[in-house]
Structure 1
Amino acid sequence: MNFDLTRRLTVEALGTFILVMAVVGSGIMAAKLAGGNQAIALLCNTLATGAVLFVIITIFAPISGAHFNPAVSLVMMLRGELDRPTTLAYIAVQIVGGCLKRRVKSKVILPPYLPQQQALDDLDGE
């Protein structure tokens, strides 16, 4: 089934956003819950990221191909599976989807009035 470009771009942005939120959110939570054990934190982050990837690829692959990464979109263009304008649009919305994390992280992961907010800001380089 072929979907229009608008729907495919929306799915790419949403999927990239979900993936970035999962990676960052699970990394922060794993670091807090692991009690200083970096191996456990890494394992928790990896398992959570893998689970989220499985779900979003399963749901979004039939619509957009579930690239969620500009490098994947570029490779698909080089293989002739995407044309240049579509590839550039995919890359643009993937970047936007990844950047949206910055706008909502404090509202989703920790409320801004908690002292842990400073730790999140430190991770983002603020």
Structure 2
Amino acid sequence: SSATALQPLVVAAHQAVWSLWTVFAFACAPVEQAALAFLPPIKGAFERRQTVQLIVASGAVVGVMGGITCLVSVLCVPHLLTPDAALWGTMQSVKFPAMLSLFLAGVDVALNGTLIAAGASPFQGGVFASSSPCARSQLVRHVA
């Protein structure tokens, strides 16, 4: 994996931020579940559009809040993530990518819920299957 090319200090710093990232990435799951619960019974196009907009906006808000919390945690209270002060400076290097990816995760999870509720699971499966080899090739190329 890519981590084998990194120094141990860098991997440890990333791990501290990653642990917080995973907590907030899964905080978006209720938004996806709301899409699965509320969208299928809606018949009218106008109501469906409004509900999708509300679900996506909710996912964005959850993502932004998680991203801001991650950013503030890394900036203001890194000792809560790791007591090792040697990692705190390196943790700063991933604060903005973590914040941005949490925002995008919120939107992505909300959109996945709307696609599943709309019956687009075969489309999603195809996208996931086709993107996995691409992501893997980028990781392999990064390490090489």
Q: Larger % of helix: which?
A: 2
Q: TM-score range by the shorter chain?
A: 0.3 to 0.5
> Which is greater in Rg?
2
Scaled by the length of structure 2, the TM-score of the pair is 0.36
